[in-house]
Amino acid sequence: GNSVTQMEGPVTLSEEAFLTINCTYTATGYPSLFWYVQYPGEGLQLLLKATKADDKGSNKGFEATYRKETTSFHLEKGSVQVSDSAVYFCALSDPFYNQGGKLIFGQGTELSVKP
């Protein structure tokens, strides 16, 4: 079946450090891939997405590249800020088994950025 695996958190970084949050997936079809961000006490917001292999999604300085050969969609940012502290979720939508447009989420990775 389809699944998403994210690196364990929490991740603690100093301001301006480089960020990588690993995400790998298993899917039977050709999924679309997403990163969502959840700030404390809020709902999830779409951060970026990619719909086919080698696509790069980017937003607010974050990037992720859809790597079909390694089944990965790692999130990166060159210089994090305190305001990036949040929980980050990787997710996939597999049209082959897409019943009702469901997303499969990873378990989330908490990021804490210290000044």
List residues binding other proteins (CB under 8 A). 32, 34, 36, 41-46, 49, 87, 89, 93, 95, 98-103, 105, 107-108, 110
| Closer CB to other proteins, 68 or 102, in the complex | 102
Least CB distance to other proteins at residue 78 (A): 25
Least CB distance to other proteins at residue 70 (A): 22
Q: Which amino acid is at 115?
A: P
Report the C-alpha gap between 106 and 10 in whole angstroms. 14
Least CB distance to other proteins at residue 105 (A): 5
Least CB distance to other proteins at residue 81 (A): 22
Report the C-alpha gap between 39 and 52 in whole angstroms. 28
| Closer CB to other proteins, 100 or 115, in the complex | 100
| Phi-psi label, residue 68: left if phi above 0, alpha if psi -120 to 50, beta otherwise | alpha
Alpha-carbon distances of 43 from 38, 60, 75, 80, rounded to whole Å? 6, 18, 20, 21
| Closer CB to other proteins, 70 or 99, in the complex | 99
First to last CA, the chain: 41
| Closer CB to other proteins, 13 or 103, in the complex | 103
